[in-house]
């Protein structure tokens, strides 16, 4: 298996959005990226970053910085693939910073939680900014909704971590001969979020969110897994980025 991290650039949020109800703070710049897994059963992409044009139009206050090679087609090319090579696209959830490149993947089955698809099409008023990029919802999209914890291919386990969104999934990769890797997406933005069990301000159910943070911690302990944070710049700087990859 080869695991590539595909960069989508960075965004800015106020500290008080990253750490809900912890008081005011400074602006924080954080990374956005996707995970590509070349697996014997197919080419799997988990999330697709943000669309620069969408963010500039709808959320310019997040100050997007994205290089021209930080789009999904360019990042796939960097890793040696084309968008049509992707057989399965999994969306951890449907926030704009996780679906921005979905429309490029015309051949892929799109796997996501049943409740997330429903919510993405009919969200609460307070979730509208999060679900503001609807480009994933095009006519050619071949959605395959799932529920519960699911092993979608050998060693690739999606497990439910709701709270941030109603149908949020995290990913445990269990290679045969190396340490498991745990991608928690937006269940906890940073190591501090995990340690102190702090949700981001963007959530549908903060109590479920705390339970999911505890679940992620327990999974990491149980499997002795390496944790990958979606939105933490310090952690991100230690990760291997495409065209480099983790061979597991």
Residue of this chain nearest to Zn ion (CB atom): 95
x-or-dash pattern for ligand 5PN, window 198-227, by CB under 6 A? ----x-------------------------
- Where in 42-61 is the site for ligand 5PN (CB under 6 A)? none
155: alpha, beta or left, given left = phi > 0 and alpha = psi -120 to 50? left
232 binds, among ligand 5PN, Zn ion, none (CB under 5 to 8 A by kind): none
Backbone φ and ψ for 217, nearest 5 degrees, come out as -65, -40
Shortest reach from residue 129's CB to ligand 5PN, in Å: 4
Shortest reach from residue 154's CB to Zn ion, in Å: 27
Cβ atoms of 212 and 204 closer than 8 Å: no
State which of residues 97, 116, 133, 232 lies at the interface with ligand 5PN (CB under 6 A).
97
Q: How many of the other CB atoms lie within 10 Å of CB of 87?
A: 16
116 binds, among ligand 5PN, Zn ion, none (CB under 5 to 8 A by kind): none
11 binds, among ligand 5PN, Zn ion, none (CB under 5 to 8 A by kind): ligand 5PN
133 contributes a contact to ligand 5PN by CB under 6 A: no
Q: In the beta sheet, which residues pair with residue 247?
A: 2
95 contributes a contact to ligand 5PN by CB under 6 A: yes
Q: In the beta sheet, which residues pair with residue 226?
A: 181
Q: In the beta sheet, which residues pair with residue 142?
A: 109
State which of residues 1, 3, 5, 11 lies at the interface with ligand 5PN (CB under 6 A).
11
> Which helix or strand (DSSP H or E) is residue 43 part of?
strand 42-46
163 contributes a contact to ligand 5PN by CB under 6 A: no
Token digits for 212? Answer: 């999911």
Cα–Cα nearest to 247, from 79, 74, 110, 105: 79
Catalytic pick from 97, 133, 186, 232?
Answer: 97
Based on the residue annotation, tell me whether 224 is a catalytic residue of this protein: no
Q: What is the dihedral of CA 116, 117, 120, 124, to 10 degrees?
A: -60
- Where in 166-205 is the site for Zn ion (CB under 5 A)? 186
Position of tokens 């340490």?
Answer: 179
Binding site residues, ligand 5PN, CB under 6 A:
11, 13, 62, 95, 97, 129-130, 202
Q: Active-site residue numbers?
A: 97
């Amino acid at each position: 298996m080869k695991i590539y991290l595909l960069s989508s650039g960075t965004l800015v949020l106020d500290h008080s959005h990253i750490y809900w109800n912890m008081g005011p703070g400074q602006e924080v710049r954080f990374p956005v990226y996707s995970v590509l897994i070349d697996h014997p059963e197919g080419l799997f992409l988990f999330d697709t970053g943000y669309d620069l044009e969408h963010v500039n139009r709808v959320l310019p206050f997040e100050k997007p910085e994205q290089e021209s090679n930080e789009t999904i087609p360019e990042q796939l090319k960097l890793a040696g693939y084309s968008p049509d090579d992707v057989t399965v696209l999994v969306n951890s959830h449907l926030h704009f910073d996780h679906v921005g490149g979905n429309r490029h993947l015309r051949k892929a089955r799109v796997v996501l939680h049943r409740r997330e698809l429903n919510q993405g099409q009919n969200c609460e008023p307070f979730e509208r900014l999060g679900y503001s990029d609807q480009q994933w919802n095009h006519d050619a999209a071949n959605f395959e909704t799932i529920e519960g914890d699911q092993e979608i291919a050998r060693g690739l386990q999606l497990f439910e971590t709701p709270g941030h969104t109603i149908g949020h999934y995290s990913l445990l990769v269990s290679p045969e001969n190396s340490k498991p890797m745990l991608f928690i997406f937006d269940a906890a933005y940073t190591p501090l979020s995990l340690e102190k069990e702090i949700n981001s301000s963007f959530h549908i159910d903060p109590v479920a969110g705390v339970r999911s943070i505890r679940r992620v911690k327990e999974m990491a302990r149980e499997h002795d897994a390496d944790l990958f944070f979606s939105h933490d710049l310090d952690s991100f700087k230690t990760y291997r980025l495409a065209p480099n990859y983790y061979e597991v």
